[in-house]
Amino acid sequence: MARRRRRNIGRLEENGSQPVQNVIVQPDNSEQPDIVNETSNRVEEPIEKLSVPRPDPIIPVFGSKGKQTEKKDNSVETVESEGDYQNENEYPDDAYFGATNRDKPEIDEDHLAHVDISDRRGNYLLSVGLPSSGKTVLQSFTTYSMSVSGRLNVTLDNKEIDGKLNYEAQRLQTLWLEEWKKGNFPAGTPLAESEIRELRLDIENLENKKQKFNFSFLEISGESFKDVVPTEVSDPKLFARINNFITNKKIKLNIAFVLKTDETPGEPTNDALFTNFVTFLKNNLPANFDKKIGLILVIPNPKAVFGEENWKRMRSPKSSDRKYYAKLVKRYIYENFPATYVAYDRWNPKKRNITVFHIGDEEQGRLKNADHADAQSFIKLNFRLFTDKLLEPKKSLLQWLFGAP
């Protein structure tokens, strides 16, 4: 069975049918990020500079999961450890469709194995995070929110140049929409080290028909991401696929690093994973890669992380509360994930951001009072990092002439 993930959720704001726009920590050209409201694009005064510790020069490199045994010829053999699926014929999504192993659909779960990634183009969001950090919740709820909230028209792009259809992407989108509609949390990424889940969407802003853009998702299981740097025992196929995506000059890439707020003692940490991944980028991209790649630090379940009182203050429209919010969020990352903060602090200020992601309340394992405010802000944030423009309604002639909002 697929592993259950931690629920990264919060509560609904009582503000009628229009979602409250999340306030996002956004930098300008200064060393520290300022606060920007995605709707107004209003910049507040920067908070005081934090003292940043020098990162540990030792960058951990993780090997593949499995047990290493030494053979008689002194070579090393990796025996794969037991993963989430104990039965090789078990189909992880049978529970959602009421299917059995006998009648499960013929779906190619490794569609990218037959695709020339160098032909890919568009805007991609790559989610990075430890197992159960909330990557699937981030991507699936964002996809769901684009389809049911706001003024966006969403079309799945699952047809290849040769006419072949990506049925896995179609199944994944349908699964996400149906499960969130029922208040269920979609299952996380299966533990398959050579697979990358891809979902390509074409988006049209119904309030501004000139704003049409591609928004695609890439997700790798947290277990596999620990092995992103190739070693003598890691999976070179996974490395090659990630490398093919990030080095493709026709792709605009944002990286969402989803912070696991309840790290497991004895397991790899957020800092270890992220510094490892940044090292991977530095080794495979030009020196100025941070000028082209967007970086978003995501804090899931913010109401549980910061407490009820601070959570309410975060949603306040007051300028003083926005400054407080920025200081609180950055200090939380600085104190709990210092190496991650250092990497973020040294990223190109125009291409970095910090945000929280709240989707509603959980009641007996189901989502109640779905809140789309943060998801809608997350969509606008990615659009701005991709295009350097705001995702907004079309302005009238008078608005252009007089600068009215």
HSE of 378, CA atoms in CB hemisphere, 13 A: 34
Number of domains comprising the chain: 1
Beta strands 294-300; 251-258: pairing state: parallel
pLDDT at 251: 95
Q: What is the mean pLDDT of residues 206-216?
A: 93
pLDDT in tens, 365-391: 899 889 999 999 999 999 999 999 999
Candidate from 129-133, 194-198, 309-313, 398-402 with smallest mean pLDDT:
398-402
Instruction: Work out the mean pLDDT of the chain and round it to a whole number.
Output: 75
Whether residue 82 is contained in a domain is answered as no
C-alpha 343: how far from chain center: 17
Q: Is residue 164 part of a domain?
A: yes
Judge whether 40 lies within some domain.
yes
- Place 241 in a pLDDT band, splitting at 50, 70 and 90: confident
DSSP 11-74: ----BTBSPPPPEEEEE-SSSSEEEEETTT--B-PPPPPP-PPPPPS-------SSEEEE-TTS
Residue at 7 is within a domain: no
Mean pLDDT of 42-56: 47
Tokens for 49? 């500079």
d(CA 228, CA 117): 18
User: Is 353:294 a contact under the CB 8 Å cutoff?
Assistant: yes
Residue 196's domain comprises: 23-50+108-402
Give the per-residue pLDDT at 236: 55
Per-residue pLDDT tens over the stretch 156-183: 999 998 888 998 899 999 999 999 999 9
362 beta partners: 367
Q: For residue range 70-105, what is the model confidence (pLDDT) as tens digits?
A: 444 444 444 443 333 333 333 333 333 333 444 444
CA gap 253, 247 in Å, rounded: 10
Question: Could you tell me if residue 385 is inside a domain?
Answer: yes
Confidence category of residue 220, pLDDT binned at 50, 70, 90: confident
Whether 357 shows a pLDDT value over 50: the answer reads yes
Give pTM, 2 decimals: 0.74
Which pLDDT does position 216 carry in this prediction? 96
The pLDDT value recorded for residue 78 is 40
Instruction: Classify residue 103: in a domain, yes or no.
Output: no
Give the whole-angstrom CA distance, residue 347 versus residue 350.
9
302 Cβ contact partners less than 8 Å away, ≥ 6 residues apart: 10, 311, 314, 356, 357, 358
Torsion sign, CA atoms 250, 279, 389, 29: negative
Distance of alpha carbon 12 from the chain centroid: 21
Calculate mean pLDDT across residues 295-311.
93
**Given this model, what pLDDT does residue 311 score?**
85
pLDDT at 259 over 50: yes
pLDDT-derived band at 266, boundaries 50, 70, 90: confident
